[in-house]
A and B are shown apart, each in its own frame.
Chain A
Amino acid sequence: GDSVTQMEGPVTLSEEAFLTINCTYTATGYPSLFWYVQYPGEGLQLLLKATKADDKGSNKGFEATYRKETTSFHLEKGSVQVSDSAVYFCALLGGSEKLVFGKGTKLTVNP
C-alpha cells in the first residue's frame, strides 16, 4: 500500500540556519504530495503541495519539489525563524483517495 517515510526528528537549529526535512514515498500511479505543519496546540495546516512530477510547492519561504525519479518531496527553507518551530508532516494522496501521513518531524529553532 501507499506509504510515506520522513526524516526522524527531533531537529534543532539556530535561527537563520538552512533546513532540510527528507521525505520519500511509495505509491502506485501518480500521487499528489503535501507538507502539513502543526504548531503547538493547533490543528494541522497545509503548508504546500505539488500535484505532478517536477512541480515545486512553496509557501512562507518553504519549498519542496516533486521528484518522481527519486520518489521524494524534501522540504527546504533557506533561513528558519523561531516561529517555524512546529511538527512537520509529509503526506500523499494516491489512488485510494486517502491522505497517508509520515510520522512527523519536530523542528525546534533557537534564537
Chain B
Amino acid sequence: EAGVAQSPRYKIIEKRQSVAFWCNPISGHATLYWYQQILGQGPKLLIQFQNNGVVDDSQLPKDRFSAERLKGVDSTLKIQPAKLEDSAVYLCASSPRGAGGNNEQFFGPGTRLTVL
C-alpha cells in the first residue's frame, strides 16, 4: 500500500514570496491533516479535513495560510506571503475516518521550508 505522498521535499524562498505544498493521502482515507513542525518542537495541527470539508482550522493563520481539498482526495497548503517564522517542516497525515482514539494517523515525509 502506498503511503502519504508530499511534494516538494524541500523549498527555499525569500520572505514575502508565495509557496504551495501538495499532499496525496493514502487511498480511501477520509481524513487529512496538515501539521507545522518548527525545529525543536513537536508537530502542531494547522488544519483537518473530513473528505472535502474543513473540520478544524482553529490554529491556521488565515491571514497568510490557506488550504483546500477540493475533490476530497489530495490537498494543497499555501502560504502567501511567507514570513521568516514560517520556516518549518510541513507534515501531511491521513487517517481512515475521524480522529478517534483507534484511528491511526499515517504521516508523509514532510516538506522542509526555509524562508530567507
- Give me the interface of A with B, judged by CB distance under 8 Å: 4, 32, 36, 41-46, 49, 51, 89, 91, 93, 97-104
- Say yes or no: A97 contacts B100, CB within 8 Å: yes
B23 to chain A, nearest CB (A): 11
Residue of A nearest to B102 (CB): A51
- Say yes or no: B4 contacts A98, CB within 8 Å: no
A27 to chain B, nearest CB (A): 12
On whether A32 and B101 interact (CB within 8 A), knowing A43-B109, A103-B42, A104-B41, the answer reads yes
B76 within 8 A of partner (CB): no
B57 to chain A, nearest CB (A): 11
Cβ–Cβ < 8 Å partners of A89 in chain B:
42-43
Cβ–Cβ < 8 Å partners of B100 in chain A:
93, 97
- Say yes or no: B56 contacts A98, CB within 8 Å: yes
Contact with A along B72-113 (1 / 0, CB 8 A): 000000000000000000010100001111101101111000
B8 to chain A, nearest CB (A): 14
Q: CA separation between A79 and B112, bound complex, in Å?
A: 33
Residue pairs across A and B with Cβ atoms less than 8 A apart, 21 shown, are A32-B101, A42-B109, A43-B4, A44-B43, A44-B93, A44-B107, A51-B101, A89-B43, A93-B99, A93-B100, A93-B101, A98-B45, A98-B48, A98-B56, A98-B99, A99-B45, A99-B105, A102-B42, A103-B41, A104-B40, A104-B41
